[in-house]
Structure 1
Amino acid sequence: MDVDHFVSENIRQACLDALNKYEIEKIYFDQTLLNLALERKWAELHPAWNWQWAIVRPLFEVFIDVQIVHFVAYAKPWSDPKGSLPIRYREIARRFFSVHYPHLVEKIGSPASRLQKRKILARLIKHIMRSFTFVDGFNRHGGDITKVVLPE
């Protein structure tokens, strides 16, 4: 975030104005408020720079050179009680924590001991249902992770 621009453009006040303008129950998170305050004043980065693991179809990850993974749901590499994340994310967290927070390493979960057919089927259906939206967003960048798409 460009902090100087944030201050000079008085984005804080724009957020407060948006908060007052829109019904509070429609504003779920800070990102929603920023989206409302900065409508058409932001650019879209390639999904590789904000790979939302639980929301963006995990099965698409094999097609993309993911740069930054954003764990937006309950499962985090350091706190995944259901063992739903890929092992590689937990292992990266384990290596990081063992150097910087050794007392927390034991809290990093293990992979699921069994696969559950219904959960796999549910995830596949969810993946298929969201595929078209994802593909449209991905294709706006033409496969170029350095391309920024300006609002229309």
Structure 2
Amino acid sequence: MDGDVQTYGSFPSDGEGYAGRIDVVTGPTGRRRWPEHVKAAIVLETYHDGASVADIARRHDISPPQLHAWRRAARDGLLPMPDEEALAFLPVSISGAAGDPPDGRSGPLTLEMGDIRIHVPPTFDATHLSRVIAAVRGAS
């Protein structure tokens, strides 16, 4: 890309001949432009349980304040986020026996959305569950 090349030169003002030294530096210029879909994907990573903004920023080689700015833009509607409906919260009600089974494992989860009931086993992948919820919402 043309924006990735910097050219520096020093030229003497008197006389002809040797023009001096010219350095061509290639690579990032210190200021990167991120496509919106990439920003949105990085912001979505920060919404996962146990995610640290600092760790995610370090993994993607950006500063934590920059990632916080992208999160703020997403909250304000300035950064289009994919699958926003999957990020919405479901109303939760607890019924039946409370607490975890005695062996320390989590029990199954039952989601009710209108007249639809989804039984989720404890080992079900959370990412896949968000796709299932989005599909159910889209179909209803």
Tell me if TM exceeds 0.5: no
TM range (shorter): under 0.3
Greater share of residues in strand:
2
Higher relative contact order (CA 8 A, sep 6+): 1
Q: Which has the larger Rg?
A: 2
TM (norm. structure 1) is: 0.20
